[in-house]
Amino acid sequence: MYTLEKAKEPTRKAFGIRLKEYGAIDSDFVVFEADIGASTSSILFGNEFPKRYFNMGIAELGMTDAAAGMAAGGRTVFVSSYGIFLSTRALEAIRTCICYPNLNVKFMGSHGGLTAAIDGVTHQATEDIANICTLPNMKMAVPCDTNSARKLFDLAIHTAGPFYVRLLRDAYYEIYDEGTEFSLGGSHVLREGKDITIGTYGDMVFQALAAAKRLAEQGIEAEVIDFYSIKPFDYARLVASIQKTGKLFVIENHQRRNGLGYEIADYLITNRYYILYKHIGLADTFAESGRYQEILGKYHLDGSAIEEEVKKMIDTCR
């Protein structure tokens, strides 16, 4: 079981702190960024290790290509920017120059999903899961709090080949203690339940937990799973849970189309798990500027939306 405390810092900062700490442990890896180091927190590393830190200017494509060249001889390279720029503007470099030759480049994609709500659509990475996970050789993980960000940094640097970590703009809650382990293809059950499985990742973990709490008050016990490893994915955990609950609800802060929910639906149908299934995300629309929680509410992605949708699913079974 978990405890929720207000987070002191967003995952982008927690990851940046671990990046800096690890710089002293491993003297080989380098960091590339595109003039937003103070925002993404990569500057924490840069201040400590200026010779291993390359500000390539506001030029994400050239930065990503240069990272590929630096990694071509086997060196580990971190690339830091906002997720939207990495997953769209630099996408071809990630595909052709990094994933295709399978180079050791790790991406720190900040402002994942609508966590950049206040900045508007131009800064919201709402197609990153689709674009990045589609690439062969790529792995992807999404931490939701400080300790998961730190542990997923360690996982990324110890995993060969390209690895993308989706980071969040704002601080939400702390949920994991320091001792919690995170593995490639792993997941964590945050709340056990027998009536329905809620699968999610990143900041949506907190919306799901809030919904689960209200559902419990109404006699519905939801099992909430943090699928922090998007690719590879913990299908074993998913199957174990749905075999118990018989119902699956997937919520993600991403376009619904080609998000994790599409991948899961494909798996379920292919493997003949014909269960009650519902998936919500951005419904083929762009969002807008606004306060994070208000935007989640307007686009039907907050705890209330989860509660409403889950109750509808439960009702269809009665």
Residues within the interface to another protein (CB under 8 A):
30, 51-52, 54, 56-57, 59, 61-63, 65-73, 75, 77, 92-93, 96-97, 100-102
**Smallest distance, another protein to C-beta of residue 302, A:** 39
**Smallest distance, another protein to C-beta of residue 96, A:** 5
SS3 category, 226:
strand
Which tokens is 273 given?
Answer: 């798990």
Amino acid (one-letter) located at 23: G
- Residue 51 CB partners (closer than 8 Å, separation 6+): none
User: Between 32 and 182, whose beta carbon lies closer to another protein?
Assistant: 32
Q: Is 136 exposed, middle or buried (0-12, 13-18, 19+ CB in 10 A)?
A: exposed
**Smallest distance, another protein to C-beta of residue 102, A:** 7
User: Between 105 and 204, whose beta carbon lies closer to another protein?
Assistant: 105
User: Between 59 and 216, whose beta carbon lies closer to another protein?
Assistant: 59
**Smallest distance, another protein to C-beta of residue 63, A:** 8
User: Between 68 and 251, whose beta carbon lies closer to another protein?
Assistant: 68
Contact 29, 77 (CB under 8 A): yes
Q: How far apart are CA 176 and CA 58, in angstroms?
A: 35
Contact 162, 95 (CB under 8 A): no
- Residue 284 CB partners (closer than 8 Å, separation 6+): 255, 256, 257
User: Between 97 and 314, whose beta carbon lies closer to another protein?
Assistant: 97
**Smallest distance, another protein to C-beta of residue 296, A:** 36
